[in-house]
Structure formats: structure tokens, C-alpha cells
Amino acid sequence: MRVYGELLRVPWAARLLGGTLLGRLPNGMGALAIVLFTRAEDGSYALAGALSAVHGLATGVGQPLLGRMMDRLGQPRILLPSALLAGLGFVLFALTGISSVPLAVLTVALAGFFTPPLEPGLRALWPRVLHRPSHVQAAYSMDAAAQELIFTFGPLLVVLAGLASDTASLYAAALLGLAGTLVVVTSRPSRDWRGEVRAAHWAGALRSRGLLLLASCLGFVGLSLGVLMVAMPAYAEGRGQEGAEGWLLAVNALGALTGGLVYGSRVWPGAPERRILPLLAGLTAGYALLALTPSLPVMVLLSYLAGVCLAPVLACVFGLVEGLAPTGTVTEAFAWIVAFMTVGTSAGSALAGWLQEEAGNRASFSGAALGGLAAVALCALGGAWLRARPGAKAV
């Protein structure tokens, strides 16, 4: 674990990581906050899942567009206005509720579309802040592990804020997103960063087949995560343990945090693309066990185990993106990874809401295992695209 201490002592590294994590807490709060607020307003699980899906889909559309603009205009000009508009969306949703479904859709879409692309922005900064390649790769592992704090504390913040009022978690998401963004954009590396000159191409970063494959695999992983955002609250409600969903989701993220820290603390032999497939298989097995829906104490354990392989999968992906992205598209490339995963999450929320209404809790959890299986199959079929390096940058 000594490597993490070395990284955080590099000038600006701790501030950038901390500010990014703070500003991304709404990413770990948003889906659950929308679901619980909708339920508190007497909305159905189907509506709650649909609104959560709209938020995720809007985020998926917005991230690559904002990332492409950030490659051209720099970080502060994009991040700060985005944080303000995303916060406005959360506030308007809290104020208007679900009495008008079209208005609710518009407000959550606003909050999602303008989610500030802090995550791809940080990964574009690492090579500029950390000058040793080994440190950059370790930073991706640390980043993948540390972001699980978002999904550990985000759901807990939603539950705690819910003790004050049904809308408190939405207001908190707006404030935290703005606060973290301010920490990042006022730092010198963020102010000074500029993207490389890029070739004009309508597909941008996605003209790399390897990058498209990575993004698609993480889209199915996101589907599994989206299922959990709806299936866990339904499980807790069905057991008469309202509020337990926050702890179950936090424990799942704690498992991912543990896996990421262990994975990043050592140097692994072989190329990272060869590790993705077995890690995805382990992730899928963990999700499949959740469909057993056992007693709450056993579910806590299974939720932890289901998260262990997530951060290592992400660390492998982050380490490949820069090499696969065409010149001048690194922020956009990372944003596409986020976008596919977010769209998958929104699709998973919608799928789980429908399955919950039609077939019950075990069926809704089964969607998580199906997402993992799809990611495994896609990675197995297209793995040659990831191994086609260094020519991966070629059109």
C-alpha cells in the first residue's frame, strides 16, 4: 500500500483526487435519491426506475459531448457551468416532484446531462501531474478503488439526508457537486491543462475499435449496477427493513474498494487486457449469487463479495484507454467509458423496475447476472481488438 502514499504526496494529486471524489458524490447519490424521492411521493417502482433511467441516459449523452468540448476549451470553462446546471436540475426536481411526469423527466434529464465530467477530466490530468508511467498506472488503480467511496458514502448520505426530509438528498447532491467542482477548477493543473491537436472526425474517440469494445463491455457492467439500484430497495422493503438498501449498496461498494486497493498495491504480470475476462467472470458470479435473495445478514455478505472484482475491472480498463484513444481525444475517450457505463446503469434501473413489478425481487436481481454474462461474452469475442497495440490508435 506504500505506493498510494507516494502518489498522494505528489503536488496537487491529493487535491485533485479529493475534489473529484467530492464533486462526484452526486453520481453515487442520484439514482437512489431519485428512486426514494419518487417512492416517497407515492410513485410506483416502474416510475422510479424510469426516472432514474432518464437521469442516467441524459448523463450518458452529456458526458462525451462535454468531454469533447473540454478537450478543445480546457477544463474550467466546461466543468463549472456544468456543475451549476446539474445542481439546478436536482433542485427543480425536489421543488416540482412527480405531480407532472413530463416536468419530472425534464428536471432529472437536466441534472443528468450536465453532470460535470470530473471523472474523465481527472484521468486526463494524471499523466500531466504524475510524470512516471508506473505512477500513472498505479494512479488508475487508486482512482478505480477510491471512486468506490462515492458508492459507499453516496447511498449512506441519501439515507441520512432522508431523516431530515424527502428532498434533502437532492439538495445535498446539488451542493456537493458544485463544491467538488470548485476544488478542481481552481487548481493550477486543471486551469493549465489543454488537449492535444486532434484530427477532425465525426466519430471522435469511438473510431478506435478497441475503445468501442471496452466501452460496450462496461455498458453491460453498468446495466448490472443499475439493476442493484432498484432491486436493493425492493429487497429491503420486502423484508420490512426500509433503509437497509443504503447499507447493502454501501457494503457492495466497500467490496469493490477492497478489491481495488488490493489489486493496485502490486504489479501484475502480463498485459492488462488479458486480466479483464477472468475479472469480469468473477464479477458475474458475484451478481448471480444475489438472486438467491437470502436473509439480510447473508445478503450483506453476498453484497460485499459481489463488489470485489468491480474496481480491478475498471483499473484494467483505465490503463488501456489512453493507448487506445486517437490523438487529442483522451478526455472524450474516458467520457465515452463513463457514458456507456451510465447508459447501461439507466437501462438496468428501468429493467429492474419492470422485472420487480412483473416477476418479483429474484427476477429483478437476475438482470445483474445477465449484464455480467453479456460483458463476458463481448470481451471474449472481441478481445483481439484490445491486443492490437500499439496500432490501436489507428483509424
Q: pLDDT tens across 24-65, in order?
A: 999 889 988 998 999 999 898 889 888 988 888 898 889 889
Q: Within a domain: residue 70? A: yes
| pLDDT grade for 18, boundaries at 50, 70 and 90 | very high
Let me know if residue 191 belongs to a domain: yes
Q: 7 in a domain, yes or no?
A: no
In a domain, 113, yes or no: yes
Q: Is the pLDDT assigned to residue 391 strictly greater than 50?
A: no
Indicate the pTM of the whole model.
Answer: 0.78
Tell which residue, 20, 255, 279, has the closest CA to residue 147: 20
Per-residue pLDDT, averaged over 322-348, amounts to: 82
Distance, CA of 364 to CA of 230 (rounded, Å): 8
Between 156 and 14, the higher pLDDT residue = 14
Q: What is the pLDDT of residues 369-389, one digit of tens each?
A: 999 999 999 988 887 677 654
SS3 annotation, 105-120: HHHHHHHHHCCCCHHH
Q: Is residue 1 part of a domain?
A: no
Q: What is the mean pLDDT of residues 181-210?
A: 80
Percent of the chain whose predicted confidence (pLDDT) is above 70: 94
**Per the domain annotation, does 231 fall within a domain?**
yes
Name the DSSP letter for residue 204: G
Q: Which of 153, 342, 159, 363 is nearest to 251 (CA)?
A: 153
3 in a structural domain: no
**pLDDT at position 101:** 94
pLDDT of residue 394: 33
Domain count, the chain: 1
* Average pLDDT for 10-24: 93
Phi, psi (deg, nearest 5) at residue 296: -60, -45
Q: Tell me which residue range forms the domain holding 348.
A: 12-393
Question: How many Å from the N-terminal Cα to the C-terminal Cα in the chain?
Answer: 39
Q: Is residue 289 a part of any domain in this protein? A: yes
Rounded Cα–Cα distance for residues 7 and 27 (Å): 25
pLDDT, position 179 = 97
Sign of CA dihedral 292, 296, 301, 303: positive
Ramachandran region, residue 295 (left: φ > 0; alpha: ψ -120 to 50; beta: rest): beta
CATH number, domain containing residue 172: 1.20.1250.20
